[in-house]
Amino acid sequence: MIELPSFAIFFIGAVGALLLRGRILSSWTIAVPVVSGLFLVLSDPTEQAINVSVAGIELAIFQPDRLSLVFGYVFHIAAIFGGIFSWRMTNPISKASILVYAGSALGAVFCRDLISLFLFWELMAFSSAYLVICSGTSKAARAGVRYLTIQIVSGLLLLAGAVLHYAQTGSIEFTHMGLTGTAALLIFIAFGIKCAFPLLHNWLTDAYPESTPDGTVFLSAFTTKVAVYALARGFAGTESLIYIGAIMTCFPIFYAVIENDLRRVLAYSMINQIGFMVCGIGIGTELAINGATAHAFNDVIFKGLLMMSMGAVLYRTGKINGSDLGGLYKSMPKTAALCIVGAASISAFPLFSGFVSKSMVMSAALEEGYMIIWIALLFASAGVFHHAGIKIPFFAFFAHDSGIRVKEAPTSMLIAMGIAAFLCIGIGSFPQFLYGLLPYETSYTAYDTTHVLAQIQLLLFSALAFVWLKLSGIYPPELRSVNIDVEWVYRKGLLAAYNTSAYIVQTLVLYAYSLLTGLVKRSYRGITRVTGMSSRLANERTVDLMIVSIVVFFAVFLVYHLINL
């Protein structure tokens, strides 16, 4: 069998996509990941290693192992159902950039040196930025530019770290490095940006909801998961990751609750899910790494499913705000059902995929004695249920009837969502398949009494509280879902504190933002004054600047040497 690395198949596919049109193009976009996936499954990729020598540096450009293969498989799955979902999008450039994006994500997880990683990292940035921009609105264009800037900064940090690492150790191999020294720190921050660490996360919630219905599906699958993979490879067992991860699981909940744009709610919930993975990587035991990887695998699928269902709603109704939607189950019953499968998975209902992986991370936290972390994760799990599990399907498909009557989602979208939903239930019911893929051997069983009971209690009490609050009409609809989890996990009294702190944080962030924009505006004015069209420095008609420069040069040069010879 010829050795063809996955990214090469995708890149060739991208070139091909530029030449095709219409349905052939759409079929092609599905065929490429299928072919590449077959390559990966039929050959034994761990036996292959492709090294390339560029300018005297040996690049390990394709060298899969068990850890990267898990991500490789799920990226193929995402590329396939995403390809089916985007059947109706027939812009060849968008399709090509999707293939480049997926291909470079695969390249990034399969390469084993920092330089190749950087190259794929940047390729991902550019191709994904196009997906944000291609929705065509000026809001999207601005968000896309902000997104691209941050991604490039991440790439530059990675490059700086790689060069520094090379200068110090003489090696560019990408292996476990841990937080030792400046080089590792730079790389850590680079990964952190892509991984949406707290305070570095804004690009995600800013840009993802602005893309097209199909673009968001791809965006949510690749970028952050590549970062999770990179952290797992480079920084497993770094203790600070546990706390970062725990914060990531908790803080987006507050934002998700007050957010009206349902795709942005999902973007926040994405940070929350990544938090579980980051936390697992931080714990670093075999069980925890397995859990983080498994959760990344499941997250790609169920988050993809939720994004697709919201994409279908947006595609049909043109609306995505919770306040504008409602009652859609009458016109889009299949989409509603599939969305509920995704919601059940992300909320970790037993027999759905989220359950079998999330519990691994939480068990690992308990085993290692991180009690407070475990409680934080438990709180976050309940939080997921109210903002993703209930809020998304409830506001889109039920709640008050908005009077919108549309057609059911197109068949291609239903097929794509069906595949994802099938996988959600399949993995949830038969987790052994997933466990067999994981980087370490595992004998973990999700379905024991403690896990199932604890999870069912958590979910049932959430649901009970939800129903009671709804009937008693204590809170306005948007706030109801906030209280359930808070009520159940903590006591009622803390609710006010949470709301206040969320308010304070938001005010502070807004204040810092206005301060920052003011600063940017003022420095832009300053720069314009110094280097703009009418500034002296940029004057092209006179030579006085040069004459002054010559005089200054001689003054400095000769006077210095007069004193110093």
Binding positions for another protein, rule: CB under 8 A: 54-56, 118-119, 122, 133, 141, 145, 152, 156, 159-160, 163-164, 167, 527-528, 530-533, 535, 537-538, 540-543, 545-546, 549-550, 553-554, 556-558, 560-561, 565
Q: How far is the CB of 550 from another protein (least distance, A)?
A: 6
CB of 166 to another protein, least distance (A): 9
Measured between its terminal Cα atoms, the distance across the chain in Å is 72
* Least gap, CB of 486 to another protein (angstroms): 43
> Which residue, 46 or 137, has its beta carbon nearer to another protein?
137
326 φ/ψ sector (left φ>0, alpha ψ -120 to 50, else beta): left
Q: What angle do CA 478, 480, 481 make, to 5 degrees?
A: 90
The rounded distance, in Å, linking the Cα atoms of 303 and 229 is 17
> Between residues 30 and 115, which has the closer beta carbon with respect to another protein?
115
Q: Which of 83, 81, 103 lies closest to 15 in space, CA to CA?
A: 103
Q: Measured from the CB atom, is 1 or 533 closer to another protein? A: 533
- Least distance from another protein to the Cβ atom of residue 553, Å: 6
Instruction: Decide: residue 200, CB within 10 A, 0-12 exposed, 13-18 middle, 19+ buried.
Output: middle
Question: Of 360, 121, 95, whose CA–CA distance to 226 is shortest?
Answer: 121
Tokens of 294: 């498994």
CB of 433 to another protein, least distance (A): 38
Judged by beta carbon, residue 407 or residue 561, the one nearer another protein is 561
Shortest Å distance, C-beta 157 to another protein: 9
503 vs 553 by CB, closer to another protein: 553
- The answer to whether 452 touches 127, Cβ cutoff 8 Å, is no
| 209 contacts: CB under 8 Å, gap ≥ 6 | 216, 261, 263, 264, 267, 320
CB nearer to another protein: give 1 or 537.
537
Q: Closest Cα partner for 97 from 270, 228, 219?
A: 219
Beta bridge partners of 261: 321
Write the DSSP symbol of residue 407. Answer: P
Name residues whose C-beta falls within 8 Å of residue 271's C-beta, 6 or more positions apart in sequence. 196, 201, 204, 205, 248, 252
In this complex, which beta carbon is closest to another protein, that of residue 166 or of residue 461?
166
- The residue type at 13: G
Q: Which is nearer to another protein, 151 or 462 (by Cβ)?
A: 151
429 exposed, middle or buried (CB, 10 Å; 0-12, 13-18, 19+)? middle
DSSP code at position 408: P
Q: Give the closest residue to 480 by CA, choosing from 556, 362, 398.
A: 398
Shortest approach of another protein to residue 445 CB, angstroms? Answer: 46
Comparing CB distances to another protein, the nearer of 54 and 453 is 54
Q: Between 468 and 557, whose beta carbon lies closer to another protein?
A: 557
Q: Cβ closer to another protein: 96 or 277? A: 96
Distance CA 3, CA 240 (A): 40
Shortest distance, position 520 Cβ to another protein, whole Å: 13
> For residues 380 and 249, is the Cβ–Cβ distance under 8 A?
yes
Task: Give least dist CB 412 to another protein, A.
Answer: 28
Q: Which two tokens stand for residue 144?
A: 């896309």
Rounded to whole angstroms, the Cα distance separating 136 from 211 reads 9
369: its two tokens: 């004695």
The Cα 251–Cα 253 span in angstroms is: 5
CA distances from 412 to 50, 84, 219, 418, 454 (A): 37, 6, 19, 10, 38
Question: CB neighbours of 497 closer than 8 A, spacing ≥ 6?
Answer: none
Comparison of 93 and 509: residue with beta carbon closer to another protein: 93
Q: How far is the CB of 145 from another protein (least distance, A)?
A: 8
Smallest distance from another protein to CB 137, Å:
11
Q: How far is the CB of 174 from another protein (least distance, A)?
A: 16
CB of 540 to another protein, least distance (A): 5
* Nearer Cβ to another protein (118/297): 118
DSSP symbols for 23-34: HHHHHHHHHHHH
